[in-house]
Amino acid sequence: MGPVVLLLVVAVAVSAAPAAAELPRLEHSPKADGSLSILAVGDWGRRGEFNQSRVATQMGVVAEKMDVDFIISTGDNFYSDGLTGVHDRAFEDSFTGIYTAKSLQKPWYTVLGNHDYRATPWRRPALSSRKSTAEVADFFFVDTTPFVLQYWTNPKDSTYDWRGVAPRDTYIANLLKDVEASLGRSRAPWKIVVGHHPIRTAGKHGDTEELVQLLLPMLKAHGVDLYINGHDHCLEQISNSDSPLQYLTSGGGSKAWGGVYAPGADKVEFFHDGQGFMSLRLTATDARLAFHDVAGAVRHTWGHAKTAHY
Ligand SMILES: *[C@@H]1O[C@H](CO)[C@@H](O)[C@H](O)[C@H]1NC(C)=O
């Protein structure tokens, strides 16, 4: 077998185009042995505080050991109100000055969180996209903040900058159409969707009902394997009762909430209310993930093997 080409797919609803478009797409090659290693971290940008720096240090250690190919950020990249522009010092104080290990100087693929949407008077880049390592995995990055109705209606959330997004209904309809079309075309062994908000969670925020209604049926219909999110400041894995889908929360990049545990109907495989991050190693037939805590200890692992036809 020749070298496996990894293709990453990111999902962004960029226009109000009437026909379903494929999401903007980025490709990434796997290693020569056909594997792909990644880290996922969320809810982090606090100028190193709340153990952000300690988590970053451990990410560097694990990234070196695994020789990671890229890092996924599940959003809420800059607290509390996103970036003010391309020259905002927070970019250095909370990102480039924190994740300094050589092993972390790799592509970072991110979604925006609700905090990144606040009071940011500048044009954000495309919001959903698809990254593909086609023979190993397709990753679909979905902009979930506009789904949450409360951000549009609650007066206390009036700082949200919806320019380029409003009206909500059109944006969501187009985004879902594009995600559906891209999922439908994916032939990758692993389909992985990344969004900021949890679909199912045992954390403080609870399930995101808008995603349960609008996005989840699509993920199940297309056999999505993993949904990776942040928003709840914890680490968790929940398995779906009627499909192979695993819900993975990696929202422990800085401030952890602690002491909140509210399981729903699905099975909670793992829950940690402190800081940390997730690692994932994929080949065409195997997935292995681990959750690492603030001290670098492995708190939970999970693996899954697939036969070659998918
Ligand atoms: C940082 O992590 C340590 C555990 O290693 C914990 O005791 C401490 O409370 C954490 N600090 C914050 C601000 O969360």
**Which tens digits make up the pLDDT trace of 206-231?**
999 999 999 999 999 999 999 999 99
| Residue 126 to residue 204: CA distance in whole angstroms | 29
pLDDT(273) > 90 = yes
Residue among 49, 50, 52, 275 whose CB has most ligand 1 atoms within 8 A, to mutate: 275
pLDDT for 211 equals 98
Ligand 1 centroid to 205 CA: how many Å? 22
Stretch (H or E) spanning 221 = helix 216-221
pLDDT tens string 78-99? 998 888 878 889 999 999 999 9
Tell me what the pLDDT averaged over the chain comes to. Answer: 87
pLDDT for 309 equals 54
pLDDT tens string 142-180? 999 999 999 999 877 778 888 889 999 999 999 999 999
Nearest atom within ligand 1 for CA of residue 49: 13
Nearest atom within ligand 1 for CA of residue 274: 14
**Of residues 286, 254, 309, 259, the one with CA closest to residue 44:** 254
44's CB contacts (< 8 A; 6+ apart) are 52, 55, 73, 76, 77, 94, 253, 254
pLDDT(267) > 70 = yes
pLDDT tens string 39-76? 999 999 999 999 999 999 999 999 999 999 999 999 99
Task: List residues forming the annotated binding site for Fe cation.
Answer: 43, 76, 79, 114, 196, 231, 233
Nearest atom within ligand 1 for CA of residue 294: 5
**Among protein residues, the one whose CA lies closest to atom 4 of ligand 1:** 294
Active site residues: 205
**Among protein residues, the one whose CA lies closest to atom 12 of ligand 1:** 50
116's CB contacts (< 8 A; 6+ apart) are 75, 76, 77, 78, 82, 83, 124, 145
Lining ligand 1 with CB less than 6 A are 50-51, 256, 294-295
**In percent, how much of the chain has pLDDT > 70?**
87
Ligand 1 centroid to 96 CA: how many Å? 22
Residue among 43, 46, 51, 275 whose CB has most ligand 1 atoms within 8 A, to mutate: 51
pLDDT for 307 equals 78
| Residue 142 to residue 134: CA distance in whole angstroms | 18
Ligand 1 centroid to 35 CA: how many Å? 34
* CATH of range 4-305; options 3.30.420.40, 3.40.50.2000, 3.90.400.10, 3.60.21.10: 3.60.21.10
Ligand 1 centroid to 289 CA: how many Å? 24
pLDDT for 234 equals 97
Task: List residues forming the annotated binding site.
Answer: 43, 76, 79, 114, 196, 231, 233
pLDDT(13) > 90 = no
pLDDT for 257 equals 87
Q: What is the mean pLDDT of residues 283-289?
A: 96
Within its chain, how far is the Cα of 110 from the centroid? 7
**Among protein residues, the one whose CA lies closest to atom 10 of ligand 1:** 51
64 CB neighbour count, 10 Å cutoff: 13
Ligand 1 centroid to 282 CA: how many Å? 31
Nearest atom within ligand 1 for CA of residue 256: 14
| Residue 22 to residue 211: CA distance in whole angstroms | 20
